[in-house]
A and B are shown apart, each in its own frame.
Chain A
């Protein structure tokens, strides 16, 4: 039975981008070349906006997971480690978990690590976090985040099947919402697909071989080992989570393992698509949003072998504070039917972007380090003398009645509600998605920012509109391969979101 010393998942969170690409739009554009795509032209897939990537989605999923503790003071709750899993990491050599931890204001004393290079990085990363907690190596909870922004070439089937999303969990001892029962890792160099270190895209082998020689032979062995290790009977599995793009695979694997057909979870293919290394965990969040106490959940992660993790939900699950989770974010959607825009956002189109797009703006890494809390963490200042909250934090208080030097303490801004004071939709300045929306955003606690806006529908912005701040790509320095991140304002679809979370 769970108790104060039990290791498991203490909270969950997720993120799904607002844009949903209509599969019909993709098939309509490409069926002339690949008629088989017509068979996949149902539903939609989640796609990143131009300013989203695995890291920005990871930050959002983490914020969702840390709700509402983070909302109380804008600062991150205490965790000992932040780990991040993705095979689409924005940086190949700059720790992505470190950027995530900085964006969430975890400070310097947190352990950070990236997990990557396999679709199994998500489940293996979560296993690693659980084992660290069990083994006592962790000095506190671990925030584990998995995210993938899938990258494909144009007009292949995976362009329709993949999706972009993120999931996050707080892992630790205490009173988990899902107790970790045990698991198993099977490693074998089964190459259903691969992506070379310098390649942008996956190279795939034949589906029938992957199904018969891979899924059907490897996964049942891993499942059997996990059941043996935990002493559970296959029939005890209430929920079976296994992503697979080949039709019928999760059902057949469950049957081979002796798991009831009714336990097999929907892969969210119709609404989201498959979110790579994050996907089993995205499905786990979705499952936890449905589950009652005492349910046994099996999660299968696939990629050069097979991970199997077993959890049992607790009474604490129902007591978890409201959050978006997968269901909330899925309900917050905007259909994208312009396939060309998708191609453009994903660098799949050689576009004439005009001379204004040529501006060469390198980042001063020394200045970024000096201002990392301000830029990545969105930390401003609060004057000790007059109480004025302000952004950025400067050496002289901005209050016209104060002006004191050296009087400000750090004050996190990301979770403070804000409203639009003035705005425009700018067709002149370069934007990957014109017109560029920006405006003066005024924070309820004081302070303001002339902020870029994102995830805005035309005609949506108005003076007085509530907004929330989100961590996004500001720009990409193509010449140097550097991605510039900052915070933007986005319409606070609270009502829309709340409706979603009740599903």
Chain B
């Protein structure tokens, strides 16, 4: 395995817009909201940025293609801007691009920005769109909840967990995230809910009800990264550094080969294994302080707890019901509310997860501040269970 980039890149500053239904904002406005905070936090001028990476997923719905929308929004001084897209994991891709540029020495200071302006479709849920001339001829006409709901039917069958038991564990996931999101002023959904609300909600895609699904939000998030040496030379203390960045992309095996049983993410397991190795973490359940995972749906979070090797296979539902991942549990998960309640502006979500980690390490997370976290992990997923990209990042205190 390559040597990796552990502790070669430090976060100089971060910013995040309020997520939600931002009816009064264009995508370009959301970018500025996040980047203004990010620049202030980093204490640098735009002119110091050597290169930028820009993530959006459904750009035809808002800012359009290429790096131009970012450069124009920020009036960047004709620097390299690369637009990246990798389904719902796009946000982590812009961060990865910026980090690699710094780690390689190609840039001293790099900017990563993600944005998505989803609430201009006229209907709820993600925008519907074509999938390509050939895929459109044989892919099912499936919604995102319909694709992920199948994790639950396959998981139930494989592990012999009755559907109603699994549904209760899934409901606990959402109740926990709502409790967390209620404490986050930037979150889209800030209302605590009880388990009956989840269980009795209208069915979106069996067995996923309305409260098993994350918010569809507008928002933007940004990070400025540099080397630890440069950060220190700028007078920065309590550095947060990158410990691992890993990405695994389906090669079609899940979709076309019968070795996959439909109950887990092949990609997440691979990415997690590599990330733990890069970050030199051997016992994640003991060593990682907090997780932000891609809880697009309650069942996604549930199986991801196993795919990240936190819960034994077939037992995540028990850990969840035991409160292991609650705010006051052993490993808080989605302490900021997650995709479920902070919201899911696709291109920004991976950066939003890192934003929460960054605040927590710096003791700036307000009412939801955890006690002295040292290592945090984000998991940013895109696509469908049967064909997806899974991005796993580990960040932590530079001195940890």
Contacts and interface: CB of A to CB of B under 8 A. Distances in A.
Interface of A: 354-356, 359, 361, 363-364, 367-368, 371, 374-375, 388, 390-392, 394, 398-400, 421-431, 435-436, 438-440, 442, 446-452, 463-464, 474-475, 484, 486
B47 interface: no
B141 A431 contact: yes
B216 to A, nearest CB: 11
Contacts of B142: 426, 429, 436, 438, 450
B262 A422 contact: yes
Given A429-B143, A431-B141, A452-B141, A422 B153 contact: yes
Nearest to B385: A422
Contacts of A439: 150, 153
Interface in B49-91: none
B44 interface: no
A450 B255 CA distance: 7
B203 A427 contact: yes
B2 interface: no
A223 to B, nearest CB: 49
A428 B205 contact: yes
Contacts of A440: 150, 154, 262, 386
B252 A398 contact: yes
Nearest to A402: B257
A438 B144 CA distance: 12
B258 interface: yes
Contact of A388 (B138, B157, B257): B257
Interface in B119-145: 121-123, 125, 128-130, 133-134, 136-143, 145
B327 interface: no
Given A392-B138, A426-B142, A438-B146, A364 B133 contact: yes
A421 B140 contact: no
Contact of A447 (B121, B157, B256, B262): B256
Contacts of B137: 363, 367-368, 371, 375, 474, 484, 486
B40 interface: no
Given A390-B256, A486-B138, A421 B154 contact: yes
B393 to A, nearest CB: 26
A355 B138 contact: no
A421 B128 CA distance: 26
Contacts of B35: none
Contact of A424 (B141, B153, B259, B386): B153
A421 B158 CA distance: 10
Interface string B192-227: 000000000011111110000000000000000000
A386 B137 CA distance: 28
Given A363-B137, A367-B134, A442-B258, 14 more contacts: A354-B123, A359-B128, A359-B129, A421-B261, A424-B150, A424-B207, A426-B206, A435-B206, A436-B142, A438-B140, A438-B141, A439-B153, A452-B141, A484-B137
A391 B258 CA distance: 11
A451 B257 contact: no
A436 B257 contact: no
B304 to A, nearest CB: 17
9 contacts: A367-B134, A390-B256, A421-B154, A423-B150, A427-B202, A436-B142, A449-B138, A450-B384, A452-B141
B151 interface: yes
B165 interface: no
Nearest to B206: A425
> Which of B134, B142, B258, B262 has the most A CB atoms < 10 Å from its CB?
B258
Contacts of B104: none
Contacts of A428: 125, 143, 145-146, 204-205
Contacts of B204: 426-428
Contacts of A429: 128, 141-143, 146, 205
Contacts of A486: 137-138
A448 B206 CA distance: 21
Would you list the 4 A-B pairs with minimal beta carbon distance, nearest first? Answer: A426-B146, A422-B150, A424-B149, A422-B154
Nearest to A378: B138
A374 B153 CA distance: 28
A371 B206 CA distance: 33
Contacts of B122: 355
Contacts of B206: 424-426, 435
B240 to A, nearest CB: 37
A484 B130 CA distance: 14
A440 B157 CA distance: 13
Given A421-B262, A429-B146, A398 B257 contact: yes
Contacts of A359: 128-130
A420 B217 CA distance: 34
Contact of B258 (A436, A447, A451): A447
A28 B263 CA distance: 48
Contacts of A425: 203, 205-206
B153 A361 contact: no
A446 B258 contact: yes
A400 B257 CA distance: 8
Which residue, of B133, B140, B143, B204, has the highest number of chain A Cβ atoms within 10 A?
Answer: B140
Contact of A356 (B123, B205, B251, B253): B123
A423 B153 contact: yes
B151 A398 contact: no
A374 B130 CA distance: 19
Given A423-B150, A463-B154, A430 B141 contact: yes
A399 B48 CA distance: 48
Given A452-B141, A486-B138, A400 B259 contact: yes
Contacts of B259: 400
A399 B252 CA distance: 9
A355 B123 contact: yes
Contacts of B205: 424-429, 435
A382 B237 CA distance: 60
Nearest to B259: A400
A439 B55 CA distance: 31
B151 A422 contact: yes
A475 B142 CA distance: 13
